[in-house]
Amino acid sequence: MEKSDVTDKIASVKSNLAGLSEERLRQLEHEFQTEFTYNSVAMEKGKVTFEEVKRFLEGEEVDLKFKKIANNHLEALSYVNENVRNNIPLSEEIIKDIHQIVMKDIMDGGWYRNVDISVKGSLHTPPNHLKVYDRMKKFIFDLSQHSGNPIEKAAFVHLQLSKIYPFLDGNGRTARLCLNYQLLSEGYLPVIVPVSRKNEYFEALEEFKLTKNPTPFEQFVASLENNQIQNLMNL
């Protein structure tokens, strides 16, 4: 979709949402939180079920470890929304804060890794830990100079975090939250990366890591945005 076409459709969606009751809007927000939390957590922690997330969000007792992961994810999503409302652009400190929230009471989050690592299932090796600081600073500078459309910029955010892999754990959850941070900052709708498209998702990330070709992932993000638009237009 062209940017102007997307912008028009999003404006129409937001106009429709403005006409809904507060109760219906809260219901839609709850549904998004449930779907987003389930899919993002299950992408890395495969044993999580949708019913567990649903029960947790409805106040029922669930496994303590999962409760921490899900609660942190919801808190991080709230932090993203608050910062976007305050027009605060994505920065290194924001990314570290998001990671710290994601990993709260699990590990000491918000710090770049101090060891070299490999990523299971990937042919790409993340940069030496001594290079992470410079890579992250360059990434944020390049983002500030990025001339692409909102989809390309949001994809750029996720791709760079996935390639640099700045943290010991929680990189995927942090990257997906930052993807939505950038989309929301540009006036776009937040998206959900569904577990059902996990292979397509990781293949697009791997393509960029190995060949520096962002197109497959940009197209993937565009399809997710289109899905959100269509879902809300169908209300």
The string of pLDDT tens digits covering residues 52-78 is 677 766 666 666 567 788 889 999 999
Tens digit of each residue's pLDDT (9 = 90 or more) over 160-190:
999 999 999 999 999 999 999 999 999 999 9
Average pLDDT over residues 113-142: 95
In total, how many domains does the chain have? 1
Per-residue pLDDT, averaged over 217-228, amounts to 97
**CATH code (residue 118):** 1.10.3290.10
- pTM for this predicted structure: 0.92
Q: Is residue 6 part of a domain?
A: no
- Which residues make Cβ contacts (< 8 Å) with residue 110, sequence separation at least 6? 96, 97, 99, 100, 103
Residue 227 lies in a domain: yes
Residue 46 confidence class, pLDDT cut points 50, 70, 90:
low
Question: Is there a domain that residue 31 lies in?
Answer: yes
Is residue 1 in some structural domain? no
**Burial category of 165 from C-beta neighbours within 10 Å (exposed 0-12, middle 13-18, buried 19 and up):** buried
Q: Are 115 and 144 contacting, i.e. CB atoms less than 8 angstroms apart?
A: no
DSSP 41-94: HHHHSTT--HHHHHHHHTT----HHHHHHHHHHHHHHHHHHHHHHTTPPP-HHH
**Within a domain: residue 15?**
no
Is residue 98 in a domain?
A: yes
Q: Which domain holds residue 225?
A: 20-233
Q: Cα-flanking dihedrals φ and ψ of residue 84, to 5°?
A: -65, -45
> Does residue 13 fall inside a structural domain?
no
Compute how many other C-beta atoms are within 10 angstroms of the C-beta atom of residue 134. Answer: 11
φ, ψ of residue 234 to 5 degrees: the values are -85, -5
In a domain, 176, yes or no: yes
Please report the pLDDT score of residue 47 as a whole number.
Answer: 61
- Give 75-127 pLDDT, tens digit per residue: 999 999 999 999 999 999 999 999 999 999 989 999 999 999 998 888 999 99
pLDDT of 235 over the 80 cut? no
